[in-house]
Amino acid sequence: MTKKNKNKIVRSLLMQWHNTQNMRSMPWKGEKDPYKIWLSEIILQQTRVEQGLAYYERFIYHFPTIQSLANAEDEFVFKLWEGLGYYNRCKNLLATARLITQNMNGVFPKKHEQIIQLKGIGPYTAAAIASFAFRLPYAVLDGNVFRVLARIFAIETPTDNLDGKKYFAELAQDILDKENPDLFNQAIMDFGATVCKPFNPLCNTCLLETICEAHQKGMVQKLPIKEKVLKKKNRWFYYFKFIYKEQVLVQKRSSKDIWENLNEYYLIETFDQKNWTKDLIDDSLLQLLAIKDYELISISPITKQQLTHQRITGQLITIRVHTIPKSLQQMQWITIPELVKLAFPKFINSFTVEKEI
């Protein structure tokens, strides 16, 4: 399949999902007022949707127009912002509202090149305003979009360095539905938020499962890759040791990360510590790998290892499968006796199995 054809299929499937399955509801969805779109995007920077919603509603109540925000007293605006943090966002919000009110007759600029020049507005926010308010063909690129694209195309380029940002920006622009940029941008962001989630993505029921390269290669939980994440101090590694007859699934760590070139079992890295109950394992295996029929052999105690710049915490969960699922068929399966010939990180070798199921 050519890149152009795949892009077309991805575009079509995402729009199909948006039109038939996207149930995500937020007060600013479908909004065409550039002021309200801009306000929602600024509030949601560094803020979860659940938290930002109440702030957005309060701001709209007190400042229904950009002119009312521009004319407000600084202290009152800062008080409404209280709790959101990153106060430079609020300062830039006021500065831009006053610039538009005083120098642009209170009319939000309609051209992308003008929007991106406004204080506090970067490439993502400019693309969001341009596409949602004015239906201009600019692709948004937030964390959800990075994740969707990285998984569909199995992209191992880090999303947070200059080369990665450039590559993903060009790919997002290529895939964008130029005739319906507002609907497509909303579709891919919502898809990342509700289906292609960071943890426990709904791969088993995903409309794009058959063309998702990460799913086919068993790389879903590895992607996207971020250089900054690789440097964080606390990380949670949960290894799934899949056994089929006398074979074990093993993969090699190849990215620029700790333990490069050493072997490991199937890894799920999470943002925080997880309590691996049978229900959580059932749900994770079903959604991520379409595994329904399996035997849970053991869950190790929690193991920790302190490295020079980071602390690793995790567990080993041993699973026996009766058939190799399609999602894991392209990965390496070796016989149990061959395991002793492979080099594993000390962290994995330190697991003890005390909790038999």
Q: What is the pLDDT of residues 28-56, one digit of tens each?
A: 778 899 999 999 999 888 777 788 888 99
Q: What is residue 356's predicted lDDT score, i.e. its pLDDT? A: 44
| Within-domain flag for 204 | no
Specify whether 137 is located in the same domain as 251.
no
Specify whether 109 is located in the same domain as 176.
yes
Q: What is residue 206's predicted lDDT score, i.e. its pLDDT? A: 93
Given 41, 57, 82, 354, which residue is catalytic? Answer: 41
Specify whether 278 is located in the same domain as 175.
no
List C-alpha distances in Å: 144 to 92, 149, 281: 25, 9, 24
How far is 220 from 216, CA to CA, in rounded Å? 9
How far is 159 from 224, CA to CA, in rounded Å? 7
Question: First vs last Cα of the chain: how many Å apart?
Answer: 45
End position of a domain, from candidates 174, 194, 214: 194
Specify whether 181 is located in the same domain as 319.
no
Calculate the CA dihedral of residues 89, 90, 92, 94 and round it to 10 degrees: 160
Quote the tokens at residue 80: 């409404």
Farthest CA pair distance, the chain = 76
Specify whether 334 is located in the same domain as 268.
yes
Specify whether 281 is located in the same domain as 140.
no
- CATH number of 45's domain: 1.10.340.30
Q: What is residue 40's predicted lDDT score, i.e. its pLDDT? A: 92
| Within-domain flag for 222 | no
Quote the tokens at residue 215: 């799913």
| Within-domain flag for 106 | yes
- CATH number of 305's domain: 3.90.79.10
Quote the tokens at residue 7: 């892009």
| Within-domain flag for 286 | yes
Specify whether 308 is located in the same domain as 176.
no
How far is 220 from 212, CA to CA, in rounded Å? 9
Boundaries of domain holding 38: 3-194
Specify whether 7 is located in the same domain as 151.
yes
Residue type, 338: E
How far is 267 from 265, CA to CA, in rounded Å? 6
Of all helices (H) and strands (E), which one includes residue 236?
strand 234-244
CA angle at residue 40 from 57 to 42, to 5 degrees? 125
Specify whether 46 is located in the same domain as 189.
yes
**Strand partners for 144:** none
| Within-domain flag for 268 | yes
Residue type, 310: Q
* Residues of the chain predicted below pLDDT 50: 354-357
Active site residue 41: yes
Alpha-helical regions (H) of the chain: 3-20, 34-44, 49-62, 66-70, 74-81, 87-103, 112-115, 123-134, 143-152, 162-175, 181-194, 213-217, 278-289, 346-349
- Reported pTM: 0.76
| Within-domain flag for 199 | no
Specify whether 237 is located in the same domain as 119.
no
Size of the chain in residues = 357
Domain count, the chain: 2
Inter-helix orientation angle 123-134/181-194, to 10°: 120
Specify whether 247 is located in the same domain as 155.
no
| Within-domain flag for 200 | no
Specify whether 148 is located in the same domain as 295.
no
Of 86, 75, 77, residue with least CA distance to 47: 86
| Within-domain flag for 202 | no
Of 286, 278, 281, residue with least CA distance to 204: 286
